[in-house]
A and B are shown apart, each in its own frame.
Chain A
Amino acid sequence: MADVSFQDVTKQFAEGTLAVKGLSLAIPDGEFMILVGPSGCGKTTALRLVAGLETATSGTITIAGRAVTHLSPRDRDIAMVFQNYALYPHMSVQRNLAFGLRQRHVPRDEVERRVAAMSAMLGLDELLRRRPAQLSGGQRQRVAMGRALVREPKAFLLDEPLSNLDAKLRVQMRAELKRIHQRLNITTIYVTHDQVEAMTLGDRLAVISGGELQQVGTPQDVYEHPANVFVAHFIGSPPMNLLRATASAGRAQAGDLSVELAHVPDGPCVLGIRPESLSLMAPDDPRPSLDFDIEVVEPLGGELLAHGFVNGRLASPDASEETPLFTGDSESRAEVTVKLDGRLRLKAGERVRLAVHAGEVYAFDAASGAALIG
């Protein structure tokens, strides 16, 4: 077990793609760290840099305080679970589990003991003689984890390990992963694009976009205090509603909605309101409110999602230079999603008045997308 750190790590591929830009991130011993971001954001490259499957163009990567930037994967003492498991198809489960230990010349009886312990922990005892092709997706997943963990590596790397499983199995394996981590307490780096996995599994998340680290923090912290408009939109499901607004004298105006935001400087800005921060307005509710025309209602049992339109204009979560926040001709109607009590009986076509929960309106700089914090 060991800590892992990136110090100003950059990776540029031969054909010119800049996959990771100046990444600095410290992962203390035993932490479950999630690298999360949209596909192509560089999170998998970052993981492969730790594994040694890619070599950093510049910067330093350390594992247990030792610089490993230029070491080969076999000398780094890490283990990795691949997205498609990468089990050796011609070997039995037993031999798959033992392969890494045998490569490291662990004595035979020690190999047997550790394989037996790992297969008992993961419930693989019945499957030891089978080939990977004879296993179900969930079983292959467990073998892949067992193969990685049986070596008792310094760090445990997982590259979207649940993405090939069906929804039910994914929830089950998510809990199992958490249980394994609590038991073994191995430093874990987990790459995913699924923000539910990121929120539920991680001790901390590192949100990455365009090869750059956007924010690091506990799931709750990132959810409650997003550093910028990208993180705000990416973390949380359904995503945060973003509206173009104009601020003057401590108030921001977006369509019908007028909110008091003392810390926002005058001029254009972006207002962010999570779907769960809106509710139907009671008769003499003093809170800020806006009209909402329901287009589609999705009942989920305990709650419901209503999609519809408000007066105002949509803002883009992408703050990159190519797509400034205020571009294009957005309609004067903005599409908004609201999460409401499932017992409400709402119909498409209905117009309701929504109130915004006090203190749950986020404001972002219109040019940089950075959060404007009060």
Chain B
Amino acid sequence: MTLSLAPDSRLRRALGSEHLAGWAFALPAVALIVIFGIVPIVWSAVMSFQANDLVSAPHWVGVANYRALLHDPAFAASVRHTLLYTVIFVPLSVAGAMLVAWALNRKLHGVRFYRLAVFVPVVTSTVATGIIFLWLLDPVFGLVNFFLSKLGIPAQGFLSNPNQALYCIVAMTIWGWLGFDVIIYLAALQGVPHELIEAAEIDGAGKWSSFRSVVLPFLRPATLFLVVWSTISALQLFDEIYVTTRGGPLGSTTVVVFYLYQQAFQFFNGGYAAAIAYVLFLAILVITIIQLKVGGRRIYSNT
């Protein structure tokens, strides 16, 4: 061997150390996170201070992108749509999931089938979900209008009606994501000691009262998690819009992330889109911190 290292040389120690092996194992994951996580985060921060059409050379514009956002009525509208969507979606999906989980948390004949049925939409691709809803809600050929007509209710525009489209998106996303929330709640419900419900029954509590006084407190940690998680995903709504309405009709379903997409990849205002992304990020951060502060106080510790 020509290369002979002194037994205590630095190189030898470095090569033989556990550090090196550890980094070698971690490298694929670290590389992925750096390339697809950290680099875009930093790059988009830089971009948000540039005029950047994603093709020609960018140039610095300072905070002009952010200033422009303040005076952009289309952005303001997208924020309104997003907030309206979030305010409807989060409470309905969380409360609905709690109700469904409660109904499924019993010895019911075929309960496994119902649980499966509730969860299937979660693992179904959003594109498929979107297409199914497009069919169901089609103003002319859709099944929903067919049944409404049977009830004597006139045909509705649904996704093609600017006053209804966003609510249809709410219904579609609740259907698609309910199963996830239900699974979380089912797990939380398993953690409620059965004797506590029996004790409440003996103490004279009715079904609703024992749910409110005994079961609900046990669901608080799960509820907080779901509210935070649903709020974040509601504020980032995109896929369902992209598949169904593409922001329309008349921009009535243009939410913040869809507006970002339009700015970046339809109008090639890369810098402006990056600024939107950062504003959205900060908004989510602030909202999440507030939710955790307010909600965390109401969770008792069992220790």
Interface of A toward B, CB cutoff 8 Å: 51-53, 72-74, 78-80, 82, 84, 86, 88-90, 99-100, 103-104, 131, 133, 147, 151
Judged by a CB distance under 8 angstroms, whether B64 is at the interface is: no
B195, B198, B213: which contacts A73 (Cβ < 8 A)?
B198
When distances are taken between beta carbons in the complex, the residues of chain A under 8 Å from B200 are: 88, 99, 103
Cα A1 to Cα B200 with chains together (Å): 21
Q: Which 3 A-B pairs have the closest CB atoms?
A: A100-B203, A103-B204, A86-B195
Judged by a CB distance under 8 angstroms, whether B217 is at the interface is: yes
When distances are taken between beta carbons in the complex, the residues of chain B under 8 Å from A79 are: 202-203
Cα A100 to Cα B210 with chains together (Å): 11
* A82 with B195: CB separation less than 8 A: yes
Judged by a CB distance under 8 angstroms, whether B209 is at the interface is: yes
Indicate the size class of the contact surface on chain B: 20 to 34
* A74 with B201: CB separation less than 8 A: yes
* A72 with B195: CB separation less than 8 A: no
Which residues of B (68-97) have their CB < 8 Å from a CB of A? none
Judged by a CB distance under 8 angstroms, whether B9 is at the interface is: no
Judged by a CB distance under 8 angstroms, whether B196 is at the interface is: yes
B-side interface mostly: helix
* A86 with B300: CB separation less than 8 A: no
Interface of B toward A, CB cutoff 8 Å: 193, 195-196, 198-206, 209, 213-214, 217-218, 300-303
* B213 with A88: CB separation less than 8 A: yes
* A147 with B203: CB separation less than 8 A: yes
Cα A99 to Cα B210 with chains together (Å): 11
* A103 with B198: CB separation less than 8 A: no
Cα A232 to Cα B261 with chains together (Å): 84
Cα A82 to Cα B193 with chains together (Å): 12
* A99 with B203: CB separation less than 8 A: yes
When distances are taken between beta carbons in the complex, the residues of chain A under 8 Å from B214 are: 88
B193, B195, B302: which contacts A133 (Cβ < 8 A)?
B302
A72 with B201, Cβ < 8 A, contacts A86-B195, A131-B300 known: yes
* A99 with B300: CB separation less than 8 A: no
A86 with B201, Cβ < 8 A, contacts A131-B300, A133-B303 known: no
Cα A90 to Cα B196 with chains together (Å): 11
Cα A90 to Cα B213 with chains together (Å): 9
A90 with B217, Cβ < 8 A, contacts A74-B205, A103-B203, A104-B204 known: yes
A73, A88, A90, A133: which contacts B202 (Cβ < 8 A)?
A73
Could you give 29 example pairs across A and B, Cβ below 8 Å?
Answer: A51-B198, A51-B202, A52-B201, A53-B198, A53-B201, A73-B201, A74-B201, A74-B203, A78-B202, A79-B202, A82-B195, A82-B198, A82-B199, A86-B195, A86-B196, A86-B198, A88-B196, A88-B199, A88-B213, A88-B217, A89-B196, A90-B300, A99-B205, A103-B203, A103-B204, A103-B209, A131-B300, A133-B301, A133-B303
